[in-house]
Amino acid sequence: MTRGIPRDVVIIGGGVAGLSACIYARLAGHNVILLEALPAVGGKAAGIDTAGYKLDPGPSIVILKRLYERLFLDAGRRMEDYLQFRPLNPISRVCFEGMPTVDLPSSRVECERLVSDIDPHDGRSFKSLMLQLDRVAPLIDKTIFKRPFDAAYQLLNPSMIQVARYLDVRTGYRQSVDRTFQSPMLRAFFYGFPSYGGQSYDSVAPGAFLIPYLMIQEGVYYPEGGVAAIPVALKRLAIELGVDIRLNAKVVQLELSGNQVSSVRLSDGSTISGSHFICGADRLTCQKWLGREVSAAPSFSYFTVHWGLKKRWEWLRHHTLLIPKEFENGFEMLYRKKEFPDPPIIYLNETSGTDESVAPAGCSNLFAVVTSPAEEPHLDWVGTADILKESIKQRMAGFGIDFTDQDIDFERIQTPTYFRQAHGSYRGSLYGPDESQRLFGMMPLRNYDEKLGNLFYCGGSVQPGAGLPMVLLSGKFAAGKIR
């Protein structure tokens, strides 16, 4: 890392993005204070330990291990001394109602064979899609993963032009999936990915294909102890490097002096001044602290239920996807009507099968996730939470995962309203504003404030995008802006 003039940097929010930003800012030689509103760091990736169960209430699919390794290497450390990643095989089990269950193997060759077995036409299409993405992936490393795009002209660099040549940048994502695959199971599997970039499947979002590509090509991992081990490891590194981490420090206002931020005001009335500020909380939420109006539509969110259960299902895998026959209607409701999908497409995560330490013997920590709209004027998440939970339970029972109230040690629901209240996510959206109109789904909001010269942003609402590996990079990008 190049070390410049030491600055006094204040970082708001101790999620994975904020932690990454403070590590990189410290490596550049700055004095760094991290302010986290909650009693622990980690944000959406923070773990919960209750009634003998450990659970990850947010992310569960960990990809792009090399980006975590890079961060530790940049700090002159070995990741293995902080964090152990175990590869998962299968990467996911897929249960399509009325069809035999399939396991997505962690090997690309086996995956290609599996898709050919499901449908020979789709097998050929899948192979050529993977070959096409083989060309794109190194270009993404050289561009989107390397530095943020500050201006539109940067999109005209030769690597980005090649990306646009290899990807279909004219066709809506759903149309591309339908053209590539005829099997309903494969279509249903692929339809979900644009939402992770804040986009609908009707948008031009060829970049969304990179997520399954990277899962298959580079693997899916379980961090020993759970995903929460990631922020724990980052916090340890940050403290070793000399970051001043302040918990229970809720920012309520950014105070200005001319076109600079001069200090942040906390909920207890105190202020902390600095020369540079990085906001690792949602960029749109931060606008309120600046007294600005925000009218952007939110992107997508999740409705989740956790159970600690005195019951286990041996056939469940670490990741299991439950796809109902009428999945088309579910996606139509999600993407086009911005309604809770009916029927829901349920993603289940059960880490107790992989790691015995996370649940009492014979019990399971089961996590059901349904991609949903964020807070929309026509939706009442608080009033309907129990009804939606029951609809998820009913669907799960149809797939053989049934349990009674007596089996439940604890139950915990998270709605988009919860994500707004607990994490400051703008209207409960997990992927920033609705990005459906943005280029290839790869150009989220910029990471610097256009009006205030010393305010930068990191996290899921800005470049390079949401998801753990992206927000890890976003912290590096934001720290790199400090001169």
Ligand X SMILES: Cc1cc2nc3c(=O)[nH]c(=O)nc-3n(C[C@H](O)[C@H](O)[C@H](O)COP(=O)(O)OP(=O)(O)OC[C@H]3O[C@@H](n4cnc5c(N)ncnc54)[C@H](O)[C@@H]3O)c2cc1C
Please give the sequence-ordered ranges of beta strands (E in DSSP) within 157-238, or none if there are none: 221-223
**Longest Cα pair distance anywhere in the chain, in angstroms?**
65
User: What are the backbone dihedrals phi and psi of residue 471, each rounded to the nearest 5 degrees, phi first?
Assistant: -70, -25
CB of 276 to ligand X, least distance (A): 17
**By CB under 6 A, is residue 59 in contact with ligand X?**
yes
Which is closer to ligand X, CB of 17 or CB of 334? Answer: 17
**By CB under 6 A, is residue 471 in contact with ligand X?**
yes
CB of 468 to ligand X, least distance (A): 4
* CA distance linking residue 251 with residue 265, whole number of Å: 6
Which is closer to ligand X, CB of 47 or CB of 460? Answer: 460
**By CB under 6 A, is residue 366 in contact with ligand X?**
no
The Cβ of residue 26 has, within 10 Å, a number of other Cβ atoms equal to 24
**By CB under 6 A, is residue 423 in contact with ligand X?**
yes
> Among the candidate windows 132-140, 183-191, 268-276, 459-467, which touches ligand X by CB under 6 A?
459-467
* CA distance linking residue 10 with residue 20, whole number of Å: 13
> Among the candidate windows 13-21, 25-33, 358-366, 379-387, which touches ligand X by CB under 6 A?
13-21
Which is closer to ligand X, CB of 35 or CB of 129? Answer: 35
Judged by DSSP in three states, 386 sits in helix
At residue 221's C-alpha, the angle toward residues 215 and 223, to 5°, is 155
> Among the candidate windows 22-30, 42-50, 205-213, 382-390, which touches ligand X by CB under 6 A?
42-50
Quote the tokens at residue 247: 């918990």
> Among the candidate windows 11-19, 111-119, 380-388, 445-453, which touches ligand X by CB under 6 A?
11-19
Which is closer to ligand X, CB of 106 or CB of 304? Answer: 304
Q: What are the DSSP calls for 97-152, one per residue?
A: TTS--EEE-SSHHHHHHHHHHH-HHHHHHHHHHHHHHHHHHHHHHHTTTTS---SG
Binding-residue pattern over the window 268 to 287 for ligand X, x denoting contact by CB under 6 A: ------------xx------
CB of 430 to ligand X, least distance (A): 5
Binding-site residue total for ligand X (CB under 6 A)?
34
* Binding test (CB under 6 A) with ligand X, winner from 7, 44, 93, 306: 44
> Among the candidate windows 41-49, 127-135, 197-205, 214-222, which touches ligand X by CB under 6 A?
41-49
Which is closer to ligand X, CB of 122 or CB of 449? Answer: 449
What separation in angstroms does the CA of 195 have from each of 232, 433, 436, 458? 28, 11, 9, 20
List b or e across 430-457, with b for residues whose CB sees 16 or more CB atoms inside 10 angstroms.
Answer: bbbbbbbebbbbbbbbbbbbeebebbbb
CB of 230 to ligand X, least distance (A): 9
**By CB under 6 A, is residue 43 in contact with ligand X?**
yes
Which is closer to ligand X, CB of 299 or CB of 364? Answer: 299
**By CB under 6 A, is residue 15 in contact with ligand X?**
yes
Do residues 331 and 323 touch, judged by C-beta distance below 8 A? Answer: no
Do residues 353 and 317 touch, judged by C-beta distance below 8 A? Answer: yes
Nearest to 296 by CA among 308, 282, 306, 309: 282
* Binding test (CB under 6 A) with ligand X, winner from 9, 18, 177, 201: 18
Q: What is the CA radius of gyration of the chain?
A: 22
**By CB under 6 A, is residue 467 in contact with ligand X?**
yes
Judged by DSSP in three states, 302 sits in strand
Which is closer to ligand X, CB of 104 or CB of 164? Answer: 104
Number of helices (H) and strands (E), helices first, in the chain? 14, 19
> Among the candidate windows 16-24, 71-79, 162-170, 234-242, which touches ligand X by CB under 6 A?
16-24
User: What are the backbone dihedrals phi and psi of residue 113, each rounded to the nearest 5 degrees, phi first?
Assistant: -65, -45
Do residues 215 and 91 touch, judged by C-beta distance below 8 A? Answer: yes
Quote the tokens at residue 465: 């995008």
**By CB under 6 A, is residue 47 in contact with ligand X?**
no
What separation in angstroms does the CA of 332 have from each of 172, 336, 344, 431? 14, 5, 11, 19
What separation in angstroms does the CA of 391 have from each of 101, 313, 320, 375? 22, 20, 18, 19
Do residues 193 and 211 touch, judged by C-beta distance below 8 A? Answer: yes
* Binding test (CB under 6 A) with ligand X, winner from 121, 236, 250, 311: 250
**By CB under 6 A, is residue 466 in contact with ligand X?**
yes
CB of 342 to ligand X, least distance (A): 20
Which is closer to ligand X, CB of 169 or CB of 385? Answer: 385
Binding-residue pattern over the window 369 to 408 for ligand X, x denoting contact by CB under 6 A: x---------------------------------------
Q: Which residue's entry shows tokens 């979002």? A: 205
Which is closer to ligand X, CB of 34 or CB of 482? Answer: 34
**By CB under 6 A, is residue 233 in contact with ligand X?**
no
Residue numbers 290-329 binding ligand X by CB under 6 A: 302, 304
CB of 65 to ligand X, least distance (A): 12
> Among the candidate windows 8-16, 151-159, 169-177, 184-192, which touches ligand X by CB under 6 A?
8-16
Binding site for ligand X (CB under 6 A): 12-18, 35-38, 43-45, 58-61, 250-251, 280-281, 302, 304, 369, 423-424, 430, 459-460, 466-468, 471
